Structure 1
Amino acid sequence: MRNNPYPDEPNRVPPTDVLPQRERMADLPPRSAPPSTAAPLPAETVQEVENAEARQEEARTVRYAIGKLNDFLQWFLVVLEVTLIIRFFLKLIGALQSNLFVGFLYSLTDIVMFPFATIVNSLKIRGGQEFEWSTLIAMLIYWLIFWAVRRFLSILISSPEEPAS
């Protein structure tokens, strides 16, 4: 057995006497809810409250869907801009289209470059190297379009701003 470094303090404290108190409480009748001072709501008011809650839930669902669409558009824009910048640099260094990856990337980006293909002529630097202005213009236009659409969607789901005084 260990020596107690504190002789005035007991080694064990007896457990509290909780059980007898519970037994005494079992003899009491169950507690009822306090009487309500407010009159019960009419059925029409209850229906209006339920309709308002349903409309709020639907509004939250629409806001969530528009927010997710906004996130998807941002992701799509990033992927589009990255593929176009890779195309620009591959053209700039004169990557051969006979390469599988380069050919695939050019074919993939030709679809989104179609409206911008004949805006300006590419500058031929040397050999197969090109400075493609149309790719840079396409990147700018696509960024502006996606920015405008995303801004519109965020305006749809935001609360109106205070009028300027």
Structure 2
Amino acid sequence: MRNDSSFPNEPTRVQPTETYPPPMEELPKKQPPPRPQTPQIPLDTTTSEADLVETRQEEARTVRYAIGKLNDFLQWFMAVLEVTLAIRFLLKLIGADPTNLFAGFLYALTDIILFPFSTIVRAPSIHPNQAFEWSTLIAMAIYWLVFWAIRRFLRILISGPEEAAS
């Protein structure tokens, strides 16, 4: 009989001398993390139609409030932008020195806002620091129209079809 073992000196049919470790104890199963609860309206027989209507009305009031607050913020931002541009226009009109701290800051701040309108019309000037900036006036009008349109759209969102969106 031939020994096909890869280790020719090892006897066949030998019991292992080492004992295997005992099987591990069963670990307790880990609980899955709790899922975030999504607000759902229960559809059981104890919920009345009035409760469902009240819940939906409360959600609608919350959305209307948020859109109203966004509208208020846009109105405030538009007012700040228009006043800042008007001050720039007046300072340029009277020839305020751009090396002055306030005038230089205001010019640098509004240059960013006026960049799209900077080459629309040349500003006629008599003095190097003095100019009648048509581009500032055009920018004021365009920004006012954009903010007016956005605010009008938001007002349409929160008004019902039967309400006048005045």
Per the normalisation by structure 2, the TM-score is 0.68
- Report the counterpart of residue 80 of structure 2 in structure 1: 79
Identity in percent: 72
Contiguous gaps of at least 5 residues in structure 2 = 1-43
**For 2:118 and 2:94, how far apart are their aligned partners in 1?**
19
Instruction: Name the structure 2 match of 1:67.
Output: 68
Larger Cα Rg: Structure 1 or Structure 2? 2
Partner AA of 1:93 in structure 2: I
- Asked if the contact 1:119–1:134 (Cα under 8 Å) also holds between the matched residues in 2, the reply is yes
Distance 1:112 1:126 in 2: 24
Distance between the aligned counterparts of 1:68 and 1:141, measured in 2? 23
What letter matches 2:56 in structure 1? R
Give, in whole Å, the separation in 1 of the partners of 2:84 and 2:103. Answer: 11
Q: Find the counterpart in structure 2 of residue 58 from structure 1.
A: 59
> What does the per-residue CA deviation read over 1:108-133, in whole Å, with 9 as the maximum and x for residues that have no partner?
11111111111111111234210000
Distance in 1, matches of 2:52 and 2:67, equals 22
Structure 1 unaligned blocks of 5 or more: 1-42
Q: Tell me, in whole angstroms, the C-alpha distance in 1 between the residues paired with 2:93 and 2:127.
A: 10
Moved over 3 A (4+): none
Alignment RMSD? 1.8
- In 2, Cα distance between equivalents of 1:81 and 1:125: 26
Q: Which whole-Å CA distance do the structure 1 matches of 2:45 and 2:112 have between them?
A: 58
Deviates more, 1:89-98 or 1:119-128: 119-128
The match for 2:135 is 134
SS at match of 1:150: helix
Deviation of 1:48 after TM superposition, in Å, equals 3.9
Deviation sequence 1:10-33 (CA, Å, 0-9, x none): xxxxxxxxxxxxxxxxxxxxxxxx
CA apart distance, 1:54 = 1.5
What SS is found at the alignment partner of 1:123?
coil
- Give the TM-score, by structure 1 length: 0.69
Q: How many residues align?
A: 121
Residue 71 of structure 2 contacts residue 151 of structure 2 at CA under 8 Å; is this kept in 1?
yes
1:156 aligns with 2:148: no
Residues 135-144 or 152-161, more deviating? 152-161
